Protein backbone atom coordinates (compact mmCIF):
# COMPACT_ATOMS: atom_id res chain seq x y z
CA UNK A 1 0.00 0.00 0.00
CA UNK A 2 1.32 3.47 -0.92
CA UNK A 3 1.08 5.58 2.23
CA UNK A 4 2.09 9.15 2.94
CA UNK A 5 4.82 7.93 5.28
CA UNK A 6 6.29 5.72 2.58
CA UNK A 7 6.23 8.68 0.20
CA UNK A 8 8.16 10.84 2.67
CA UNK A 9 10.79 8.16 3.08
CA UNK A 10 11.14 7.56 -0.64
CA UNK A 11 11.25 11.26 -1.40
CA UNK A 12 14.62 11.44 0.29
CA UNK A 13 16.22 9.36 -2.43
CA UNK A 14 15.10 11.71 -5.17
CA UNK A 15 15.72 14.95 -3.32
CA UNK A 16 18.61 14.61 -0.94
CA UNK A 17 20.11 11.16 -0.69
CA UNK A 18 19.38 7.51 -0.06
CA UNK A 19 16.02 6.83 1.60
CA UNK A 20 15.88 6.73 5.35
CA UNK A 21 14.77 3.52 7.02
CA UNK A 22 11.37 4.07 8.59
CA UNK A 23 10.26 1.73 11.34
CA UNK A 24 6.84 0.20 10.95
CA UNK A 25 6.09 0.67 14.64
CA UNK A 26 5.54 4.26 15.72
CA UNK A 27 4.05 6.24 18.58
CA UNK A 28 3.02 9.13 16.35
CA UNK A 29 -0.41 9.72 14.87
CA UNK A 30 1.31 11.11 11.77
CA UNK A 31 4.81 11.85 10.48
CA UNK A 32 6.56 14.02 13.12
CA UNK A 33 9.07 15.55 10.65
CA UNK A 34 6.40 17.04 8.41
CA UNK A 35 8.32 20.33 8.07
CA UNK A 36 11.56 18.73 6.91
CA UNK A 37 15.11 19.34 8.07
CA UNK A 38 17.60 22.13 7.45
CA UNK A 39 21.14 23.25 8.14
CA UNK A 40 22.63 26.69 8.36
CA UNK A 41 25.32 29.13 9.45
CA UNK A 42 28.25 26.90 8.44
CA UNK A 43 31.72 27.37 9.92
CA UNK A 44 35.03 25.67 9.26
CA UNK A 45 34.25 22.99 11.86
CA UNK A 46 30.47 22.66 11.78
CA UNK A 47 27.02 24.10 11.21
CA UNK A 48 23.55 24.17 12.75
CA UNK A 49 21.06 21.38 12.06
CA UNK A 50 17.36 22.04 12.52
CA UNK A 51 14.01 20.32 12.58
CA UNK A 52 10.66 20.84 14.25
CA UNK A 53 8.44 18.08 15.61
CA UNK A 54 4.94 18.61 14.19
CA UNK A 55 2.95 15.41 13.55
CA UNK A 56 -0.18 17.50 12.94
CA UNK A 57 1.48 20.65 11.66
CA UNK A 58 -1.55 22.88 11.17
CA UNK A 59 -2.92 22.11 14.64
CA UNK A 60 -2.07 24.11 17.74
CA UNK A 61 1.43 23.22 19.00
CA UNK A 62 1.87 21.02 15.93
CA UNK A 63 -0.44 18.41 17.39
CA UNK A 64 1.77 17.89 20.46
CA UNK A 65 1.15 18.47 24.13
CA UNK A 66 2.93 21.03 26.27
CA UNK A 67 5.78 18.78 27.34
CA UNK A 68 9.28 18.48 25.84
CA UNK A 69 10.14 15.83 23.25
CA UNK A 70 13.50 14.09 22.93
CA UNK A 71 14.98 13.97 19.43
CA UNK A 72 18.05 11.96 18.47
CA UNK A 73 20.41 13.31 15.82
CA UNK A 74 23.29 11.90 13.81
CA UNK A 75 25.96 13.41 11.56
CA UNK A 76 27.81 11.17 9.10
CA UNK A 77 30.59 11.62 6.58
CA UNK A 78 28.67 9.54 4.02
CA UNK A 79 25.11 9.61 2.71
CA UNK A 80 24.51 6.02 3.76
CA UNK A 81 25.34 6.78 7.41
CA UNK A 82 27.88 3.98 7.62
CA UNK A 83 30.40 6.35 9.20
CA UNK A 84 28.63 8.33 11.91
CA UNK A 85 31.03 10.98 13.24
CA UNK A 86 28.75 12.59 15.85
CA UNK A 87 25.43 11.85 17.48
CA UNK A 88 23.38 13.01 20.43
CA UNK A 89 19.95 13.87 21.79
CA UNK A 90 18.29 17.28 21.75
CA UNK A 91 15.17 18.49 23.52
CA UNK A 92 12.37 19.94 21.42
CA UNK A 93 10.81 22.41 23.83
CA UNK A 94 7.20 23.63 23.57
CA UNK A 95 8.32 27.18 24.39
CA UNK A 96 10.09 27.18 21.00
CA UNK A 97 7.38 25.37 19.06
CA UNK A 98 9.11 21.99 19.58
CA UNK A 99 11.91 23.12 17.30
CA UNK A 100 15.46 21.77 17.54
CA UNK A 101 18.65 23.74 16.87
CA UNK A 102 21.79 21.64 17.27
CA UNK A 103 25.13 23.45 16.87
CA UNK A 104 27.60 20.94 15.47
CA UNK A 105 31.32 21.57 15.98
CA UNK A 106 34.54 19.59 15.78
CA UNK A 107 34.15 18.54 12.13
CA UNK A 108 36.84 18.73 9.47
CA UNK A 109 36.98 21.87 7.31
CA UNK A 110 35.76 22.01 3.72
CA UNK A 111 33.99 18.63 3.83
CA UNK A 112 30.47 17.44 2.95
CA UNK A 113 28.46 15.91 5.79
CA UNK A 114 25.02 14.36 6.17
CA UNK A 115 22.57 14.49 9.06
CA UNK A 116 19.23 13.08 10.18
CA UNK A 117 16.90 13.03 13.17
CA UNK A 118 14.93 10.25 14.90
CA UNK A 119 12.02 10.61 17.31
CA UNK A 120 10.23 7.61 18.86
CA UNK A 121 10.97 5.30 15.97
CA UNK A 122 10.35 7.76 13.14
CA UNK A 123 13.24 9.01 11.03
CA UNK A 124 13.49 12.30 9.19
CA UNK A 125 14.61 13.02 5.67
CA UNK A 126 18.38 13.15 5.34
CA UNK A 127 20.00 16.52 4.90
CA UNK A 128 23.45 17.56 3.77
CA UNK A 129 25.73 20.48 4.51
CA UNK A 130 29.33 21.42 3.90
CA UNK A 131 31.79 22.94 6.33
CA UNK A 132 33.73 26.03 5.25
CA UNK A 133 37.46 26.03 4.56
CA UNK A 134 39.72 26.89 7.48
CA UNK A 135 39.94 30.61 8.16
CA UNK A 136 43.60 30.71 7.09
CA UNK A 137 43.03 28.55 3.99
CA UNK A 138 43.40 29.87 0.43
CA UNK A 139 40.58 28.25 -1.57
CA UNK A 140 40.61 28.92 -5.28
CA UNK A 141 36.84 29.18 -5.79
CA UNK A 142 33.41 29.11 -4.17
CA UNK A 143 29.92 28.63 -5.56
CA UNK A 144 26.75 29.62 -3.69
CA UNK A 145 23.10 30.53 -4.19
CA UNK A 146 20.96 33.59 -3.41
CA UNK A 147 17.18 33.36 -2.99
CA UNK A 148 14.18 34.82 -1.17
CA UNK A 149 10.75 36.48 -1.49
CA UNK A 150 8.49 33.42 -1.54
CA UNK A 151 4.85 34.48 -1.32
CA UNK A 152 2.98 31.19 -0.85
CA UNK A 153 -0.15 32.58 -2.51
CA UNK A 154 1.52 34.17 -5.53
CA UNK A 155 3.13 31.03 -6.90
CA UNK A 156 4.46 27.54 -6.31
CA UNK A 157 8.00 26.94 -5.06
CA UNK A 158 9.22 24.93 -8.04
CA UNK A 159 12.34 27.11 -8.30
CA UNK A 160 13.46 25.61 -5.00
CA UNK A 161 13.46 22.12 -6.52
CA UNK A 162 15.94 23.37 -9.13
CA UNK A 163 18.00 25.09 -6.43
CA UNK A 164 18.11 21.81 -4.48
CA UNK A 165 19.60 20.11 -7.53
CA UNK A 166 22.38 22.68 -8.03
CA UNK A 167 25.74 20.96 -7.62
CA UNK A 168 28.52 22.02 -5.27
CA UNK A 169 26.84 24.97 -3.57
CA UNK A 170 28.75 25.87 -0.42
CA UNK A 171 25.63 27.58 1.00
CA UNK A 172 22.54 29.59 0.07
CA UNK A 173 22.03 33.17 1.24
CA UNK A 174 18.31 33.72 1.91
CA UNK A 175 17.75 37.48 2.07
CA UNK A 176 14.27 37.31 3.61
CA UNK A 177 10.52 37.45 3.02
CA UNK A 178 10.28 33.77 3.92
CA UNK A 179 6.59 34.34 4.73
CA UNK A 180 4.03 37.03 3.94
CA UNK A 181 1.88 38.41 6.70
CA UNK A 182 -1.46 38.77 4.90
CA UNK A 183 -3.95 36.95 2.70
CA UNK A 184 -4.89 38.60 -0.59
CA UNK A 185 -7.99 38.17 -2.71
CA UNK A 186 -5.93 38.85 -5.84
CA UNK A 187 -2.46 39.92 -6.98
CA UNK A 188 -1.25 41.97 -9.93
CA UNK A 189 1.21 41.07 -12.66
CA UNK A 190 1.76 43.25 -15.71
CA UNK A 191 -0.98 45.53 -14.43
CA UNK A 192 -3.58 42.77 -14.51
CA UNK A 193 -5.12 40.93 -11.52
CA UNK A 194 -4.77 37.20 -10.93
CA UNK A 195 -6.15 34.92 -8.25
CA UNK A 196 -3.83 33.32 -5.70
CA UNK A 197 -2.68 29.90 -6.85
CA UNK A 198 -3.08 28.67 -3.23
CA UNK A 199 -4.35 30.45 -0.16
CA UNK A 200 -2.86 31.35 3.17
CA UNK A 201 -4.54 29.74 6.17
CA UNK A 202 -4.83 33.16 7.82
CA UNK A 203 -6.03 36.66 7.04
CA UNK A 204 -3.37 38.64 8.93
CA UNK A 205 -0.63 37.77 11.40
CA UNK A 206 -0.67 39.27 14.89
CA UNK A 207 0.20 36.67 17.55
CA UNK A 208 2.94 34.06 17.95
CA UNK A 209 0.48 31.31 17.00
CA UNK A 210 -0.37 33.25 13.82
CA UNK A 211 3.25 33.59 12.76
CA UNK A 212 3.96 29.94 13.57
CA UNK A 213 1.07 28.97 11.31
CA UNK A 214 2.54 30.96 8.42
CA UNK A 215 5.93 29.24 8.64
CA UNK A 216 4.26 25.87 9.06
CA UNK A 217 2.21 26.26 5.91
CA UNK A 218 5.19 27.37 3.82
CA UNK A 219 7.47 24.63 5.15
CA UNK A 220 5.00 21.91 4.26
CA UNK A 221 6.00 22.59 0.63
CA UNK A 222 8.22 19.69 -0.41
CA UNK A 223 10.26 21.78 -2.88
CA UNK A 224 11.23 24.20 -0.12
CA UNK A 225 12.09 21.23 2.11
CA UNK A 226 14.28 19.84 -0.67
CA UNK A 227 16.33 23.03 -0.96
CA UNK A 228 16.75 23.46 2.78
CA UNK A 229 17.78 19.84 3.12
CA UNK A 230 20.26 19.97 0.25
CA UNK A 231 22.25 23.10 1.19
CA UNK A 232 23.21 25.04 4.30
CA UNK A 233 21.25 28.31 4.48
CA UNK A 234 22.34 31.73 5.71
CA UNK A 235 18.98 33.06 6.89
CA UNK A 236 18.04 36.71 7.17
CA UNK A 237 14.91 38.85 7.50
CA UNK A 238 13.34 41.52 5.33
CA UNK A 239 9.95 43.12 5.97
CA UNK A 240 7.19 40.54 5.44
CA UNK A 241 8.42 38.36 8.28
CA UNK A 242 6.82 41.08 10.43
CA UNK A 243 4.73 43.50 8.34
CA UNK A 244 5.23 45.29 5.03
CA UNK A 245 7.90 48.03 5.06
CA UNK A 246 8.47 48.02 8.83
CA UNK A 247 11.65 49.61 10.14
CA UNK A 248 13.02 49.95 13.66
CA UNK A 249 9.96 50.10 15.94
CA UNK A 250 7.70 51.73 13.34
CA UNK A 251 4.82 50.18 11.38
CA UNK A 252 3.72 52.73 8.78
CA UNK A 253 1.45 50.30 7.00
CA UNK A 254 -0.89 49.28 9.80
CA UNK A 255 -4.35 48.43 8.47
CA UNK A 256 -2.98 49.04 4.97
CA UNK A 257 -3.03 52.82 5.44
CA UNK A 258 0.41 54.52 5.11
CA UNK A 259 1.42 57.68 6.90
CA UNK A 260 -0.01 59.20 10.08
CA UNK A 261 -2.78 56.74 10.86
CA UNK A 262 -4.37 57.33 14.30
CA UNK A 263 -5.29 53.64 14.45
CA UNK A 264 -1.70 52.50 13.84
CA UNK A 265 -0.13 50.76 16.84
CA UNK A 266 2.21 52.64 19.14
CA UNK A 267 5.87 51.69 19.13
CA UNK A 268 5.31 49.61 22.27
CA UNK A 269 2.39 47.70 20.74
CA UNK A 270 4.24 47.18 17.48
CA UNK A 271 7.22 45.73 19.36
CA UNK A 272 4.93 43.09 20.87
CA UNK A 273 3.98 42.00 17.38
CA UNK A 274 7.60 42.13 16.26
CA UNK A 275 8.67 40.00 19.22
CA UNK A 276 6.15 37.31 18.22
CA UNK A 277 7.34 37.48 14.60
CA UNK A 278 11.00 37.21 15.54
CA UNK A 279 10.41 34.24 17.83
CA UNK A 280 8.51 32.39 15.09
CA UNK A 281 11.32 33.18 12.64
CA UNK A 282 13.94 31.79 15.03
CA UNK A 283 11.89 28.66 15.66
CA UNK A 284 11.86 27.79 11.95
CA UNK A 285 15.36 28.83 10.83
CA UNK A 286 18.63 26.84 11.09
CA UNK A 287 20.41 29.54 13.10
CA UNK A 288 22.53 29.58 16.24
CA UNK A 289 21.39 30.18 19.81
CA UNK A 290 23.06 33.60 19.68
CA UNK A 291 20.19 34.62 17.41
CA UNK A 292 17.48 33.73 19.90
CA UNK A 293 15.35 36.90 20.16
CA UNK A 294 15.92 39.09 23.18
CA UNK A 295 13.33 41.76 23.90
CA UNK A 296 12.08 41.40 20.35
CA UNK A 297 15.52 41.98 18.82
CA UNK A 298 17.63 39.47 16.86
CA UNK A 299 21.36 39.84 16.20
CA UNK A 300 20.99 39.32 12.44
CA UNK A 301 24.23 40.92 11.24
CA UNK A 302 27.09 38.43 11.08
CA UNK A 303 30.07 37.52 8.95
CA UNK A 304 30.94 34.49 6.83
CA UNK A 305 34.57 34.00 5.81
CA UNK A 306 35.37 31.51 3.09
CA UNK A 307 39.09 31.24 3.83
CA UNK A 308 40.82 34.34 2.46
CA UNK A 309 38.82 34.20 -0.77
CA UNK A 310 35.51 35.74 0.36
CA UNK A 311 34.43 37.94 3.24
CA UNK A 312 30.63 38.08 3.27
CA UNK A 313 28.93 40.58 5.58
CA UNK A 314 25.29 39.75 6.32
CA UNK A 315 23.68 43.10 7.05
CA UNK A 316 20.43 44.03 8.80
CA UNK A 317 18.70 46.91 7.01
CA UNK A 318 15.45 46.78 9.04
CA UNK A 319 15.93 46.81 12.81
CA UNK A 320 18.04 49.97 13.08
CA UNK A 321 16.81 51.99 10.09
CA UNK A 322 15.09 55.35 10.49
CA UNK A 323 11.51 55.70 9.33
CA UNK A 324 11.10 55.99 5.57
CA UNK A 325 11.06 59.65 4.49
CA UNK A 326 8.40 61.38 2.42
CA UNK A 327 5.65 59.02 3.64
CA UNK A 328 7.22 55.90 2.05
CA UNK A 329 6.16 54.42 -1.29
CA UNK A 330 7.40 55.30 -4.80
CA UNK A 331 7.65 59.11 -5.02
CA UNK A 332 9.97 61.99 -5.95
CA UNK A 333 12.55 62.85 -3.31
CA UNK A 334 11.62 65.21 -0.52
CA UNK A 335 14.23 67.09 1.60
CA UNK A 336 14.32 64.32 4.23
CA UNK A 337 15.94 61.98 1.67
CA UNK A 338 19.11 64.08 2.13
CA UNK A 339 19.02 64.28 5.94
CA UNK A 340 22.62 64.11 7.18
CA UNK A 341 21.74 62.25 10.39
CA UNK A 342 19.65 59.54 8.69
CA UNK A 343 20.57 55.90 9.34
CA UNK A 344 20.03 52.54 7.64
CA UNK A 345 22.33 50.23 9.60
CA UNK A 346 22.67 52.14 12.86
CA UNK A 347 26.00 53.38 14.16
CA UNK A 348 26.89 50.18 16.06
CA UNK A 349 26.39 48.01 12.98
CA UNK A 350 28.40 50.43 10.84
CA UNK A 351 31.29 50.23 13.34
CA UNK A 352 31.04 46.43 13.34
CA UNK A 353 31.19 46.45 9.54
CA UNK A 354 34.22 48.75 9.46
CA UNK A 355 36.08 46.43 11.84
CA UNK A 356 35.32 43.35 9.71
CA UNK A 357 36.49 45.01 6.51
CA UNK A 358 39.98 45.47 7.93
CA UNK A 359 40.72 41.74 7.46
CA UNK A 360 42.07 41.16 3.93
CA UNK A 361 40.12 39.04 1.45
CA UNK A 362 40.21 38.57 -2.31
CA UNK A 363 36.51 39.51 -2.51
CA UNK A 364 34.07 41.29 -0.21
CA UNK A 365 30.29 40.90 -0.40
CA UNK A 366 27.56 42.91 1.30
CA UNK A 367 24.59 40.54 1.59
CA UNK A 368 21.54 42.61 2.45
CA UNK A 369 17.88 43.26 1.70
CA UNK A 370 17.09 46.50 -0.17
CA UNK A 371 18.54 47.95 -3.38
CA UNK A 372 21.60 50.15 -2.94
CA UNK A 373 21.58 51.71 -6.41
CA UNK A 374 19.64 54.97 -6.47
CA UNK A 375 17.34 54.03 -9.32
CA UNK A 376 14.87 56.21 -11.18
CA UNK A 377 11.68 54.14 -11.11
CA UNK A 378 9.96 55.96 -13.98
CA UNK A 379 8.86 53.75 -16.84
CA UNK A 380 7.24 56.44 -18.99
CA UNK A 381 9.14 59.26 -20.65
CA UNK A 382 6.41 61.80 -19.88
CA UNK A 383 6.75 61.46 -16.11
CA UNK A 384 8.33 64.76 -15.01
CA UNK A 385 10.51 63.91 -11.97
CA UNK A 386 12.74 61.10 -10.83
CA UNK A 387 10.79 58.53 -8.78
CA UNK A 388 12.53 56.75 -5.88
CA UNK A 389 11.72 53.57 -4.02
CA UNK A 390 11.59 55.11 -0.55
CA UNK A 391 11.99 51.71 1.10
CA UNK A 392 15.49 51.35 -0.43
CA UNK A 393 18.90 52.90 0.20
CA UNK A 394 17.95 55.58 -2.34
CA UNK A 395 15.80 57.25 0.34
CA UNK A 396 18.77 57.62 2.71
CA UNK A 397 21.40 59.45 0.71
CA UNK A 398 23.84 60.22 3.55
CA UNK A 399 24.23 56.63 4.82
CA UNK A 400 24.19 55.41 1.22
CA UNK A 401 27.15 57.65 0.42
CA UNK A 402 28.98 56.36 3.50
CA UNK A 403 28.42 52.80 2.33
CA UNK A 404 29.54 53.55 -1.22
CA UNK A 405 32.68 55.22 0.15
CA UNK A 406 33.47 52.02 2.09
CA UNK A 407 32.93 49.92 -1.02
CA UNK A 408 35.13 52.26 -3.05
CA UNK A 409 38.00 51.71 -0.62
CA UNK A 410 37.90 47.93 -1.17
CA UNK A 411 39.65 46.29 -4.07
CA UNK A 412 36.83 43.89 -5.00
CA UNK A 413 33.36 44.40 -3.55
CA UNK A 414 29.89 43.40 -4.69
CA UNK A 415 26.46 43.85 -3.13
CA UNK A 416 23.84 41.07 -3.04
CA UNK A 417 20.25 42.21 -2.70
CA UNK A 418 16.66 40.96 -2.85
CA UNK A 419 13.24 42.54 -2.22
CA UNK A 420 12.51 43.81 -5.75
CA UNK A 421 10.80 40.69 -7.22
CA UNK A 422 12.91 41.26 -10.33
CA UNK A 423 16.48 40.77 -11.47
CA UNK A 424 18.93 43.66 -11.78
CA UNK A 425 22.65 43.80 -12.52
CA UNK A 426 24.16 47.24 -12.17
CA UNK A 427 27.00 49.42 -11.03
CA UNK A 428 27.22 51.46 -7.84
CA UNK A 429 28.15 55.07 -8.55
CA UNK A 430 29.45 57.67 -6.09
CA UNK A 431 30.12 61.21 -7.38
CA UNK A 432 30.10 59.99 -10.98
CA UNK A 433 32.63 57.25 -10.18
CA UNK A 434 31.85 53.54 -10.33
CA UNK A 435 32.89 52.02 -6.99
CA UNK A 436 31.31 48.55 -7.12
CA UNK A 437 28.53 46.40 -8.52
CA UNK A 438 25.19 45.16 -7.27
CA UNK A 439 23.36 41.93 -8.10
CA UNK A 440 19.65 42.03 -7.26
CA UNK A 441 17.97 38.63 -7.08
CA UNK A 442 14.39 38.11 -8.18
CA UNK A 443 11.79 36.27 -6.11
CA UNK A 444 11.07 32.58 -5.79
CA UNK A 445 7.34 33.17 -6.33
CA UNK A 446 6.32 36.72 -5.33
CA UNK A 447 4.88 38.58 -8.29
CA UNK A 448 3.51 35.55 -10.10
CA UNK A 449 4.82 34.28 -13.42
CA UNK A 450 6.16 37.62 -14.59
CA UNK A 451 7.71 38.07 -18.02
CA UNK A 452 11.11 38.70 -19.47
CA UNK A 453 10.63 42.48 -19.25
CA UNK A 454 8.09 44.56 -17.40
CA UNK A 455 6.22 47.16 -19.43
CA UNK A 456 8.36 50.27 -19.76
CA UNK A 457 11.65 48.47 -19.16
CA UNK A 458 13.40 50.12 -22.09
CA UNK A 459 12.53 53.54 -20.70
CA UNK A 460 13.63 52.38 -17.23
CA UNK A 461 17.03 51.34 -18.63
CA UNK A 462 17.36 54.67 -20.43
CA UNK A 463 16.79 56.52 -17.15
CA UNK A 464 19.32 54.28 -15.35
CA UNK A 465 22.47 53.76 -17.44
CA UNK A 466 24.16 52.08 -14.44
CA UNK A 467 21.74 49.15 -14.84
CA UNK A 468 23.12 46.66 -17.36
CA UNK A 469 20.40 44.01 -17.07
CA UNK A 470 16.83 43.75 -15.84
CA UNK A 471 14.35 40.90 -15.93
CA UNK A 472 10.92 40.14 -14.42
CA UNK A 473 10.91 36.34 -14.12
CA UNK A 474 11.09 34.26 -10.95
CA UNK A 475 14.11 32.24 -9.84
CA UNK A 476 17.40 32.65 -7.96
CA UNK A 477 21.07 33.51 -8.38
CA UNK A 478 24.11 31.25 -8.54
CA UNK A 479 27.39 33.02 -7.83
CA UNK A 480 30.70 31.46 -8.93
CA UNK A 481 33.72 33.27 -7.52
CA UNK A 482 37.40 32.61 -8.12
CA UNK A 483 40.56 34.67 -7.74
CA UNK A 484 40.14 36.28 -11.16
CA UNK A 485 36.42 36.89 -11.64
CA UNK A 486 33.01 36.96 -9.92
CA UNK A 487 30.24 35.52 -12.08
CA UNK A 488 26.57 35.79 -11.15
CA UNK A 489 24.16 33.59 -13.10
CA UNK A 490 20.52 34.67 -13.25
CA UNK A 491 18.53 31.42 -13.12
CA UNK A 492 14.85 31.85 -14.05
CA UNK A 493 11.80 29.61 -14.37
CA UNK A 494 9.16 29.95 -17.04
CA UNK A 495 6.22 30.01 -14.61
CA UNK A 496 5.23 29.66 -10.97
CA UNK A 497 1.47 29.34 -11.38
CA UNK A 498 1.94 25.59 -11.89
CA UNK A 499 3.79 23.24 -9.50
CA UNK A 500 6.41 22.27 -12.10
CA UNK A 501 8.37 24.55 -14.38
CA UNK A 502 11.40 24.82 -16.66
CA UNK A 503 14.66 26.38 -15.48
CA UNK A 504 17.03 28.33 -17.72
CA UNK A 505 20.04 30.59 -17.33
CA UNK A 506 18.73 33.96 -18.44
CA UNK A 507 21.98 35.93 -18.14
CA UNK A 508 25.42 36.05 -16.55
CA UNK A 509 27.09 39.16 -15.16
CA UNK A 510 30.83 39.33 -14.48
CA UNK A 511 33.15 41.48 -12.40
CA UNK A 512 36.88 41.05 -13.04
CA UNK A 513 39.23 41.15 -10.07
CA UNK A 514 40.90 44.53 -9.67
CA UNK A 515 38.40 46.29 -11.94
CA UNK A 516 35.28 48.25 -11.06
CA UNK A 517 32.06 47.83 -13.00
CA UNK A 518 30.39 44.74 -14.35
CA UNK A 519 29.83 43.44 -17.82
CA UNK A 520 27.26 41.03 -19.20
CA UNK A 521 28.95 37.84 -20.39
- The model's confidence at residue 261, banded by pLDDT at 50, 70 and 90, is low
Determine the pLDDT at residue 26.
65
Determine the pLDDT at residue 14.
40
Q: CA 406, 407, 412, 416: dihedral to nearest 10 degrees?
A: 130
Residue 243 has pLDDT above 90, yes or no: yes
Let me know the angle formed at the C-alpha of 418 by 192 and 45, rounded to the nearest 5 degrees: 145
- The model's confidence at residue 260, banded by pLDDT at 50, 70 and 90, is low
pTM as predicted: 0.94
Tell which residue, 126, 13, 109, has the closest CA to residue 73: 126
Q: Give, for 10, the enclosing helix (H) or strand (E).
A: helix 4-15
Close Cβ partners of 1 (under 8 Å, ≥ 6 residues apart): none
| 3-state helix, strand and coil shares in percent for the chain, rounded to the nearest 5 | 20, 30, 50
CA–CA distance, 356 with 436 (Å, rounded to integer)? 18
Phi, psi of 43 (to 5 degrees): -130, -175
User: Which domains occur in the chain, in start order?
Assistant: 4-127 (2.60.40.380), 142-520 (3.60.21.70)
Determine the pLDDT at residue 509.
98
Question: Are 147 and 163 contacting, i.e. CB atoms less than 8 angstroms apart?
Answer: yes
At 412, is the secondary structure helix, strand, or coil? coil
**Helix 158-165 and helix 222-230: axis angle, to 10°?**
20
Residue 25 has pLDDT above 80, yes or no: no
pLDDT in tens, 436-452: 999 999 999 999 999 99
Amino acid sequence: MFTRRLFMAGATAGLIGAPAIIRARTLWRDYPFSLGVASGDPSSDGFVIWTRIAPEPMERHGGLGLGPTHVDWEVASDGGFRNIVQHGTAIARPELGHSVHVEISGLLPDRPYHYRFTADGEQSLRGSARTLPAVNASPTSVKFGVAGCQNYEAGFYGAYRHLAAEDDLAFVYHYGDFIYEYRADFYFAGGLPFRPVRQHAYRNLISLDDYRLAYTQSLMDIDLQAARGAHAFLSSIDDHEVVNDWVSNVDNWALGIPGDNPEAPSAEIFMLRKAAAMQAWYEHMPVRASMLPRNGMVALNRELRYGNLLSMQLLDTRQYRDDQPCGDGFKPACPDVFARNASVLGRAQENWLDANLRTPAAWYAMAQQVTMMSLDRRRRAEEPAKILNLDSWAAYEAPRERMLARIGNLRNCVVLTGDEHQNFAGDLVLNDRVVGSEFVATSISSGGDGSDLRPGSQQFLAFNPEVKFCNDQRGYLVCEVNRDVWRTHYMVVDKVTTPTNILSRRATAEVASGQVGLRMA
